Amino acid sequence: MYLADTNVISEARKGARANPGVLSFFAGDQSPDCYLSVQTMGELRRGIENIRKRGDHPQARRLDAWLALVSHDYADRVLGFDDECAQIWVI
């Protein structure tokens, strides 16, 4: 099982321009074992909204579409963060 951080899933969006290591990871057999956290989903949304607020609406729309695809593709692989996680997170 792998937990992809926000910067990794964002890098993968670049396609052929992405970091070769990221491309290799997502091209390999481990991709179905890749999970995202709800925090990553929130960070992606926050980034899109920041782009929208600065007035780049075309880019925000492209990223909205991409996030919808990520949400669909990872629908059963988004890990929650509850009180129990919060209690051990700081340890």
Sequence-distant (6+) residues with CB within 8 A of 36 are: 3, 4, 9, 70, 74, 77, 78, 79
Q: Would you state the pLDDT for residue 83?
A: 86
**Domain 2-89 maps to which CATH number in 3.10.105.10, 3.30.450.20, 3.40.50.1010, 3.40.718.10?**
3.40.50.1010
The pTM (predicted TM-score) of the whole model is 0.85
Q: Quick: pLDDT tens for 67-89.
A: 999 999 999 999 998 888 878 87
* Digit-coded pLDDT (tens) for 25-42: 888 866 678 999 999 999
